[in-house]
Amino acid sequence: MAPFGKIYTYPNNLRVNRALIIADLNGLEIEIPAFAFRETNKAPEFLTKFPLGKVPAFESADGFYLTESIAIATYIAKSGPKSGQLLGTNAKTQALITQWASFSESELFQNAFVPIAMVALKVYRLDEQRFNDHVAGLERDLKYIESALQGGKKHLVGDKLTVADLMVTSTLYYAFKYLVDADMRKGLPNLVAYIQAFADAPEHKKYYGELELCETRITAQS
């Protein structure tokens, strides 16, 4: 069987990992072509398909082009037998899943990634005030998720895995590695149990590897 499509991306892109998990759950094969940043995405052939030159970028087997990670994940989720579970079957459930997906991209990812990019990855210029503002935002986000999981809930929406969980956990893997340290975890028992359960699932471990829990988080002085 020919692949369902291909995703252009740099290696270990968390926004792609969640799409690949969704594809696996739906029994869809996704090809990941060789990619050189600032080369592949600057080539005329690529820009003809994806004028912004952004990744991830999806190309279906029948020539359908798509960018933006939420759109890619949603399209793959809708294209297989697990669509109803992953995206919901009624308006309220679908809206809640979209709410969590939007929160993951606009709130959680930004607050986790910016400090990591400044200190651990060193791809952003260090700005201590900005670093601290995002860490404070992340702490607020984590408490929000913790509250949503009260009572030992295993999923954010309903009682089965949905795109909401896959969007949020993709960022949490990296937040726990660098920022959610032992002291913070004491106040987040539901969230810790939630992410550990996901980390133990083979379909997640396949793309994210082992969950790493930092003892002491990175700081602007690290």
- 125: domain CATH number is 1.20.1050.10
State the Cα–Cα distance between residues 54 and 114, nearest whole angstrom.
Answer: 19
Q: How confident is the model at residue 92 (pLDDT cuts 50, 70, 90)?
A: very high
Residue 1 above 80 pLDDT?
Answer: no
What pLDDT sits at residue 222? 81
pLDDT digits 0-9 by tens, 136-155: 999 999 999 999 999 999 99
Which residues, other chains included, contact 79 with Cβ-Cβ below 8 Å and sequence gap of 6+?
A: 4, 26, 28
In the predicted model, is pLDDT for residue 196 greater than 70? yes
Q: What is the DSSP letter of 213?
A: -
Range of the domain at 127: 88-208
For residues 166 and 221, give the distance between their C-alpha atoms in angstroms, rounded to a whole number.
32
- 103 & 55 share domain: no
Whether 201 and 109 share a structural domain: yes
In a domain, 217, yes or no: no
Domain count, the chain: 2
Say what the pLDDT of residue 2 is: 78
User: Is there a single domain that holds both residue 109 and residue 162?
Assistant: yes
CA distance 103 to 141: 9
Same domain for 74 and 159? no
